[in-house]
Chains A and B, each alone.
Chain A
Amino acid sequence: MATAQAAIEIDELPGAGAGATIHVSGDWTFGALRKRRYRLARIAADLQHRSAKSLRWDLTGITALDDAGAVWLARSLRTAEQIDVNPRYGAMLTQASQGLLVERAEGGLDPLAGVVRVGRAGIDFWFHLRDGTALLGQLVLDLFRVTRRWRDFPLLELSANVYRAGVSALPVTMLVGFLIGVVLTYLSALQLKRYGADLLVINIVGIGVVRELGPLLASIIAAGRSGSAMTAQLGVMRVTEEIEALSVMGVSVTARLVLPKVLGLAIALPMVSFCTDIAALAGGVLIAKLTLGITPAAFLEALPRAVEVVNFWIGIGKSVAFGFAVAFVACHYGLRVLPNTDSLAAGVTQSVVASVTAVILLDAMFAILLRDVG
């Protein structure tokens, strides 16, 4: 199996214009040709100028051939009419030259591409709305069904989800809450000190944290942490056909997979945001003491007077809605994943973006609806 160099030799027949025999020999493999192919291509290109009829290609000297070599040869042989070839390599050469003939439909510039894009986005949006509504309806139906038949209630999954989305999210959420409490208090203290309105810091931090920041922080972290996990889990289950397996066994995918996630986060998030409130207020108490000299006891005593308790309940209520929204959006995107990796990646990204957007939209709606309360 010694490698022989690939070569093209031109053997001119006697007499002007009598033509020539071209001897092609050696190893025509990718490895052997890697460096020599430009030189050989030049020789082959020169031959293109000669009348095809006058040339006789003798390929019997080829000692090895692979696809790359066959394609290089086939290109030079396009116009050739007389070819002698070892039958062993004939099939490969024929396939290569046929491969060269296949036209690949190039996606040219479509003048209507913009219109198509907009239309497609519109249709996509419509599908999202339709499927989202269907999922919501299905969840309500499932909820009715499981209340009639408690045996079907996915209690185990529910508690697992509360643990995963709630308890295990506490460290990171509380840390972020604490830091936000610190920053918020510090910045407001700087401003308030100038007007001598030191004690107002309790109002600002109290209302801000309990009514807005606590629930918002908790749900944004939940969207990044639990929401993405939910989408990825459902998406992978789609890729591995586990969703189909569940349906085939007569287990409702929405009741078993979506419902416990949605309920679980709706239950867990108020508790998480309660803990976030505490952490953020702790940060506030600390900074109020350090920058304004308000003692923790004074801070905590003034807090109930500064912040009506209804604000707390608004915060908790919003958390329930946010939890529901995050899990619902995550599951909606998870179930839409197609069985390929691209779609999975896109689904998770879109899910996180959409659920954070949904949370902020909902928050704005709550702010308008409840503007006269608290």
Chain B
Amino acid sequence: MSADANSQSDVETVVETVVEVQKLLNKIGEFVLHRELDFEVRAGEVMTLVGGSGSGKTQLVRVILGLKRPSAGLVRVFGVGWDDPSYARVRAARERMGMLFQNGALYSAFTVYQNVAFPLRERGGLDEEAIRAIVYAKLAQVELEPKHADLLPASLSGGMVKRVALARALALSPELLILDEPTAGLDPDRSDAFVRLIKRMRSEYRFAVLMVTHDLDTLHDLSDRVSVLADQHIIASGSIDEVRSVPHRFIENFFGGERGRRAFTAA
């Protein structure tokens, strides 16, 4: 019994750096998108990735998620590379992270309940009663009512889709949550509410967050650290104030613009 428990903890190593990217070279055809890119997300922190349109933020996230194989360089999530030969290690790493896609990416053939239950069922080891309890607890956490559980994604509003997707991303109590434009397409009220929701969930579960966003308010409210992607690599990384003081055209435009000043002076 205890030997088994140990083998489990072998698979799930405790790491301080949740996401580690070193000297990444990422080409699309002959076009070099990333070169000499270093990036990391530490356990428990909220790391925000910003960058101009077309700077390759989404591609970087896809590399981190293992959806795209980098041309060269090292990518480790929970200390595991996606090309690791051990299926168990890769799978264990996958189960420790949750992803919130920009448009939710809910399974349209499944109800809300089935969508949230899906990762739990795939992981196995839980009976239906426990799954049901977790699903309803998750739905309650994202402020959805049990009566919403049997709706299909097509009949949900945009804000509800986001919340169901968050519930699904958090179903396995992940240690890393990846958010792609979490507040895009939400009105300011809902986007504030969504930020509050993520903050509250974080205070309970203490997961690390890797967030891609354009929204300065969201960035300001959530981030512990910020990394700026420009000129094919991370040009600055650190707290918001540290990053803002770096002299670079993109940073000056991004934080120094009218919207930037408003977000940062209001606080």
Q: Using CB atoms and an 8 Å cutoff, list the residues of chain A in contact with chain B.
A: 1-3, 5, 29-32, 34-36, 39, 66-68, 70-72, 74-75, 88, 91-92, 95-100, 102, 104, 239, 338-342
- Bound-state CA distance A97–B109 (Å) is 29
B199-215 vs A, CB cutoff 8 Å, 1 = contact: the mask equals 00000110000000000
Q: Tell me the chain B residues, 107-155 only, with Cβ under 8 Å from chain A.
A: 107-109, 123, 125-126, 129-130, 132-138, 140-141, 146, 149, 152-154
> Please, which residues of chain A bring their CB within 8 A of the CB of B141?
95
B137 touches A98 (CB 8 A): yes
B132 touches A104 (CB 8 A): yes
* Among all A-B residue pairs, the 6 with the closest Cβ atoms: A66-B173, A340-B108, A99-B137, A99-B133, A99-B136, A342-B109
Among A35, A39, A67, A239, the residue within 8 A (CB) of B137 is: A67
Listed by A's residue number, 18 A-B pairs whose Cβ atoms lie within 8 Å are: A1-B14, A30-B173, A35-B8, A66-B205, A67-B138, A74-B133, A91-B204, A95-B140, A97-B133, A98-B140, A99-B132, A99-B134, A99-B136, A102-B146, A104-B132, A340-B108, A340-B152, A342-B108
Beta-carbon nearest neighbor of B125 in chain A: A34
Q: Using CB atoms and an 8 Å cutoff, list the residues of chain B in contact with chain A.
A: 1-2, 4-5, 8-9, 12, 14, 43, 92, 107-109, 123, 125-126, 129-130, 132-138, 140-141, 146, 149, 152-154, 171-173, 204-205
> Please, which residues of chain B bring their CB within 8 A of the CB of A1?
14, 43
> Please, which residues of chain A bring their CB within 8 A of the CB of B146?
102
How many A-B pairs have beta carbons closer than 8 Å: the answer is: 99
B14 touches A338 (CB 8 A): no
A71 touches B134 (CB 8 A): yes
Q: A5-B5, A31-B9, A339-B108 are in contact. List 4 more A-B contacts (CB 8 A).
A: A32-B9, A74-B133, A102-B132, A340-B109
> Please, which residues of chain A bring their CB within 8 A of the CB of B138?
67, 99
B137 nearest CB across to chain A (Å): 4
A35 in contact with B1 given A3-B14, A98-B137, A339-B108 (CB within 8 Å): yes
Beta-carbon nearest neighbor of B132 in chain A: A104
Scoring B12, B43, B130, B137 by chain A CB atoms within 10 A of each residue's CB, the highest score goes to B137
Q: Is the interface of B mostly helix, strand, loop or mixed?
A: helix
Among A31, A100, A340, A341, the residue within 8 A (CB) of B8 is: A31
A102 touches B154 (CB 8 A): no
A30 touches B132 (CB 8 A): no
Among A95, A98, A338, the residue within 8 A (CB) of B154 is: A338
Beta-carbon nearest neighbor of A3 in chain B: B9
- Bound-state CA distance A239–B103 (Å) is 13
B135 nearest CB across to chain A (Å): 7
- Bound-state CA distance A204–B5 (Å) is 77
B1 touches A39 (CB 8 A): yes
Scoring B43, B154, B171, B173 by chain A CB atoms within 10 A of each residue's CB, the highest score goes to B173
- Bound-state CA distance A102–B108 (Å) is 24
> Please, which residues of chain B bring their CB within 8 A of the CB of A3?
9, 14
- Bound-state CA distance A354–B48 (Å) is 52
A103 nearest CB across to chain B (Å): 8
> Please, which residues of chain A bring their CB within 8 A of the CB of B133?
71, 74, 96-97, 99-100, 102
- Bound-state CA distance A99–B4 (Å) is 30
B130 touches A72 (CB 8 A): yes
B136 nearest CB across to chain A (Å): 4
- Bound-state CA distance A363–B251 (Å) is 70
Beta-carbon nearest neighbor of B9 in chain A: A3
- Bound-state CA distance A345–B5 (Å) is 44
> Please, which residues of chain B bring their CB within 8 A of the CB of A68?
125-126, 130, 134, 173
Among B2, B12, B109, B130, the residue within 8 A (CB) of A71 is: B130
> Please, which residues of chain A bring their CB within 8 A of the CB of B149?
104
> Please, which residues of chain B bring their CB within 8 A of the CB of A92?
137, 204-205
> Please, which residues of chain B bring their CB within 8 A of the CB of A340?
108-109, 152-154
B149 nearest CB across to chain A (Å): 8
- Bound-state CA distance A2–B15 (Å) is 10
- Bound-state CA distance A104–B134 (Å) is 13
Beta-carbon nearest neighbor of B150 in chain A: A105
A35 in contact with B5 given A66-B205, A102-B146, A339-B154 (CB within 8 Å): yes
Beta-carbon nearest neighbor of B173 in chain A: A66
B5 touches A36 (CB 8 A): yes
> Please, which residues of chain A bring their CB within 8 A of the CB of B109?
340-342
B130 touches A95 (CB 8 A): no
B216 nearest CB across to chain A (Å): 29
Beta-carbon nearest neighbor of B146 in chain A: A102
> Please, which residues of chain A bring their CB within 8 A of the CB of B2?
5
> Please, which residues of chain B bring their CB within 8 A of the CB of A104?
132, 149
- Bound-state CA distance A340–B171 (Å) is 23
Beta-carbon nearest neighbor of B7 in chain A: A35
Beta-carbon nearest neighbor of A66 in chain B: B173
> Please, which residues of chain B bring their CB within 8 A of the CB of A338?
154
